[in-house]
Chains A and B, each alone.
Chain A
């Protein structure tokens, strides 16, 4: 760590950890409901649990991305965060809005559009919050000593995510319009601009962890995000097949989305090659594990399992079944959850000054969570494929099929238990590392007014 204000990242990372843990709790509520034990129905009915589960996911990932930006950008552009006080306020207000939203869900205050359930009033607060964040990061970059491709790609990803939130707020009376704009947010996020964020963070981690030449890494970064947009933008069409949009989307969406796995494949090959070439100099093997793991699991979850149901002829039968849940879990885990856990693994030892990354608990967390997630995906796949055949292809009644596949949810809950143990170990490690009181690196310039301001805001003056 080279700059005092990088410590702001810890607040975001800690929030991520808390919300992620809570997300898993809601996952279990739904797993049990699918098994036939919907015991909490009167307090937390299924739709409340599902909405909370999904929105916690989005918020903790965004928190992770923001933390990553506050950590990475100072180091890349070589200066303190422009306004540390505002950064801290932005964190506090994000937590406040998040809590109000989550509590609101339990009183059935929501908009009811999958992934965008936050009510309109809170949407505006989110916009203000994110604009503050973007301006702070952008300002830091403008005033920085250098502008790197890595930080620009990361910034562009964050900026576009903010802008793409707006189509989701367009008011409409028409179900098809509603759906059309909703995918501008959801699809163009996960299969577009979030991949920029992923590319930027991954490039930073690879540069730090493998010591490989920046020029080489950044060149391939352009190629990969180029392929992402080439396939991903028109690939949005794979959500427009059956919602009342014209038939030509079957062809356009099918063809372009079928190319999307290439970007993920590219990312995996790139990460593995760089790690090999770089000779693995860095002692933080745990962070490298998450980084490489992320590139591989995102290819499996997003690329391979996405492709499995993206062709219109397949999607006709899998659309709206548990097959989608199978893909969604592995894709989000592989691409974005592992990415955030990777940044945290890299940054935490530096932020806190405790070497938590090479203990047995860290590898337990890595393997347990990944094995658990693969097993969960298999359970979803079996349930989903059974549902497709029984309900969609043979015409059995919906509820009869659900009773038929209840047994696979026992498997799911068992797998989820393994997964939760792994994540639990990760969180324990995080807590054990303690507060962000780590030393700023030798030779870094800590005497500036900016550094003093950051220390004052973050209450780390004692160490100065």
Chain B
């Protein structure tokens, strides 16, 4: 039978060995982090953004690198997902973005602070995270309408980039996207191109009580979106609006 002395020896030796290994691995990890996390791109602005991220406690609602709270969207890939203009708009006036949904703190950031936070989020997006966040792997089941491509993302390739970044945050198309505004399937049948372009310049000028905020769009983007949206026709049942055009 194990004696008390033997038990103590097991505890002391086991703990010692594991702690030693842990310290060595820590050194090795710190040597590898610069390459793995694109540390070269960490400029002054990114560092200011990181400290702003901390003192603002964004982690109290959001997750970053999967760590934080589960009340607001995961932000690791938000730069790629939404683009800088959208993030800037979000940080400048969170109240008007995502109207009627969960509320984000309005910090009253100035331009420089917003720039720093965007730079920080951009840098985070370039890290090698061993595959996190994973691509949705059951998507094709969820969106049968997109059966034209092998994955739902394949079917979105021919949309303007700004549509996939900004508009999809609030609107859905082909069953994918946000639920803040109405689905945009067949919107070309409801409105003509000039109306859509006027709408995109400033929704409140078209409809005074519009809940859609005025978005930071360039003339080129508006033209591109106008062309894209106006040809989204109401589809015959069962087919995708995009494939039906």
Contact = CB atoms under 8 A, between A and B. Distances in A.
Q: Do A and B originate from a single complex?
A: yes
A246 B21 contact: no
Nearest to B179: A400
Nearest to B177: A397
Contacts of B182: none
B139 interface: yes
Contacts of B57: 47-48, 51, 108, 110-112, 117
A32 interface: no
A229 B12 CA distance: 10
B50 A229 contact: no
Nearest to A42: B103
Given A50-B60, A176-B37, A394-B139, A244 B127 contact: yes
9 contacts: A47-B71, A149-B4, A176-B33, A234-B21, A242-B66, A320-B68, A320-B74, A394-B138, A399-B179
A396 interface: yes
Interface in A290-332: 316-317, 319-322, 324-325
A277 interface: no
Contacts, number: 216
A215 B18 CA distance: 27
Nearest to B180: A399
Contacts of B7: 219-220, 222-223, 226
A395 B54 contact: no
Contacts of B130: 241-242, 247, 250
A173 interface: yes
Given A47-B105, A242-B66, 4 more contacts: A47-B60, A112-B56, A176-B37, A393-B137
B207 interface: no
B129 A112 contact: no
A149 to B, nearest CB: 8
Interface string A100-115: 0000000010111110
A233 B142 CA distance: 41
B37 A394 contact: no
A440 B45 CA distance: 63
A223 B8 CA distance: 7
A328 B101 CA distance: 27
A233 B59 contact: no
Contacts of A325: 70
Contacts of B148: none
B166 to A, nearest CB: 13
B22 interface: yes
B210 to A, nearest CB: 19
Contacts of B70: 320-322, 324-325, 387
B42 interface: yes
A215 B2 CA distance: 12
A287 interface: no
Interface string A373-394: 0000000000000010100111
Contact of A399 (B37, B101, B138): B101
Contacts of B18: 229-230, 233-234
A267 B118 CA distance: 48
A402 interface: yes
Contact of B55 (A111, A240, A244): A111
B142 A395 contact: yes
A196 B172 CA distance: 52
Contacts of B192: none
A180 B33 CA distance: 11
> What 5 A-B pairs have minimum CB-CB distances, sorted nearest first?
A47-B60, A395-B136, A320-B66, A242-B132, A112-B57
Interface in B10-52: 10-11, 14-15, 18-19, 21-22, 25-26, 28-30, 32-33, 36-37, 39, 42, 47, 50-51
A175 interface: yes
Contacts of A46: 60-61, 69, 71-72
A179 interface: yes
Interface stretch (A33-41, A131-139, A362-370, A410-418): A33-41
Interface of A: 30, 33-34, 38, 41, 45-48, 50-51, 108, 110-114, 117, 149, 173-180, 215, 218-220, 222-223, 225-227, 229-230, 233-234, 236, 240-250, 252, 316-317, 319-322, 324-325, 387, 389, 392-400, 402-403
Nearest to A215: B4
B9 to A, nearest CB: 9
A394 B3 CA distance: 55
Contact of A230 (B8, B14, B74): B14
B202 to A, nearest CB: 24
B107 to A, nearest CB: 9
B88 to A, nearest CB: 20
Contact of B22 (A222, A233, A250, A394): A233
B194 to A, nearest CB: 30
A321 B134 CA distance: 13
A223 B2 contact: yes
B239 interface: no
A325 B101 CA distance: 22
Contact of A244 (B37, B61, B178): B37
Nearest to B7: A222
B53 interface: yes
Given A316-B132, A402-B102, A240 B29 contact: yes
B98 interface: yes
Contacts of B138: 389, 393-394
Contacts of B68: 114, 320
Contacts of B102: 33, 38, 399, 402
A52 B53 CA distance: 18
B141 interface: yes
Nearest to B51: A173
Contacts of B42: 173-174
B63 interface: yes
Interface string B223-242: 00000000000000000000
Contacts of B65: 175-176, 179, 242-244
A112 B54 contact: yes
A47 B69 contact: yes
A51 B56 CA distance: 12
Contacts of A47: 57-61, 69, 71, 105
A175 B39 CA distance: 10
